[in-house]
Amino acid sequence: MAKWFVIGILALITGEIAALVLAAAAIGLPRALVLMLATSLAGLLVLRHPGRARFERLRVAVTQSGIAGLEAGGDAFLTVSAGVLLLIPGFMTDVLGILLLLPAVRRWIGGRFQSFARNRSAPDAVVDLDRTDWNRVPERALEDLQQRNDPR
């Protein structure tokens, strides 16, 4: 898992450098750097202006429901993610951040996450236990235990 994370980060850095070189070749290095700075400031604005209320909604949703709270605070999570992506210098992350600010993209990702969360929250039919977590009990002992615990 860590290997794929490192490979992904290296691929992102390589892609960002390539995008900067292409943008600098197309519009000039000073303009490319100003554009990167402008999108970073836009990311800061996304995180600051409506971000505090959204951070709070997201925090409350995740605190109450765990990872499933991301579904309830999905819009807030995606907006905060967009702000973070815009804040990171680079054109590829900027494009992803701008896409996450579009309501249609957020609805599409939210729908995908809801179906993923529903599938993950379904109880499994099999419970794996270690040998130390269970022991065999005769049927008669189970019946006696059920009769003692029966409130009737």
Predicted local distance difference test score (pLDDT) of residue 108: 87
Residue 113 lies in a domain: yes
Residue 129 lies in a domain: no
Instruction: Give the amino acid at 101.
Output: L
Residue 74 lies in a domain: yes
Residue 3 lies in a domain: no
Please state the domain count of the chain. 1
Residue 25 lies in a domain: no
Is residue 18 over pLDDT 60?
A: yes
Is residue 78 over pLDDT 70?
A: yes
Residue 21 lies in a domain: no
Predicted local distance difference test score (pLDDT) of residue 8: 93
Angle between helices 103-121 and 91-101 (to 10 degrees): 80
User: Which range marks the domain in which residue 72 is found?
Assistant: 36-119
Predicted local distance difference test score (pLDDT) of residue 151: 61
Tens digit of pLDDT for each residue in 46-59?
A: 888 765 676 777 77
Return all residues near 100 (Cβ < 8 A) that are at least 6 apart: 78, 79, 81, 82, 85, 106, 109
Residue 16 lies in a domain: no
Q: What is the pTM of this model?
A: 0.65
Query: Mean pLDDT of all residues in the chain?
Result: 80
Residue 111 lies in a domain: yes
